[in-house]
Amino acid sequence: MKSSPRHKKAVPAKGGKATNKNYFIFIKAERRAIVNSKLRIGASRPAMKKSLFRRRIWREWQKIGGIPMKTVTYEDVLSLNPCWLEEEGGREKLERIGKRKERWSALDVLDLPEEEVSSVNKVWAVLRTELVDEMILHEFACWCAEEALALVGNPDPRSVAAVEAKRKWMRGEITDRQLEEAREAARDATRDAAEYAAECAARDSARCAAERAAWGAARRTAEYAAECAARDSARRAAWYAAWNDARRKQVQMLRELLGNG
């Protein structure tokens, strides 16, 4: 049987490296395939088609070489109004670091020395779609929620099911509506920061939702880890140590998801 044109175009250039040119050729071909497919998605459901397209692109491109890294400029970072701008000497420090490179990728930020940029600032900087693919943000949110739920002796099954539902959604096995139902159930189950992390992770497919899911789950996971440590030791120093340790783990996981673990 003759292979379809889209599968010919989906293969990276000789040498196996993922390039932006190959990536956009792949996107164009994959979009055409979805539009022309016989999926049971009516013409009145463009949002569902768009959601399916994003997930299929992410899954298939990951198989053939990885998604090309996004980059931002120093000026782009300034437009985010980082807290350093309000600190004494913060603007000068940010400019000194930012001007080292013309463009910054998420890995460039994550690889900065800890004594120069803290893990919490690194996580804040990269958890956005300008730097990280939406599906990687969703995957990161799931990981954070699982880390938090692992600290709970007996997590509510609805919270666990919400994370499982998100992974099914990412694989294209359930619809946006089914994912929303799982999130609503997790919201009803929320009792503490760990289970709130699961509810955050299950947020839907909108662009801003990917950022909210990742940041919300990451923040709640760090908070719950710190609370557990402080509960055992009753010392404020333990809270900060656990918080920082959770953030360092998050930085490492982001590196792994971005292909540089």
Give pLDDT, residue 42: 38
Residues of the chain with pLDDT under 50: 1-21, 23-24, 27, 31, 34-50, 64, 205-208, 230-234
Q: Distance between CA 255 and CA 72 in Å, rounded?
A: 17
The pLDDT assigned to 194 comes to 57
Whole-number pLDDT of residue 43: 37
Q: Where are the beta strands (DSSP E) in the chain?
A: 71-72, 104-105
Phi, psi at 72, each rounded to 5°: -135, 165
d(CA 34, CA 77): 35
What is the domain partition of the chain in residue ranges? 5-63, 71-126, 134-257
pTM of the model: 0.68
Beta-carbon count within 10 A of 135 CB: 20
From the list 140, 124, 177, the residue with the least C-alpha distance to 58 is 140
Whole-number pLDDT of residue 229: 54
pLDDT of residue 33: 53
Q: Work out whether the CA dihedral 223, 227, 230, 235 comes out positive or negative.
A: positive
> Per-residue DSSP letters for 126-171?
HSSTTTS-HHHHHHHHHHHHHHHHHTSSS--HHHHHHHHHHHHHHT
Burial 232-243 (b: 16+ CB within 10 A, else e): eeeeeebbebbb
pLDDT at 135: 85
Instruction: Give the pLDDT confidence score for residue 51 in this predicted structure.
Output: 53
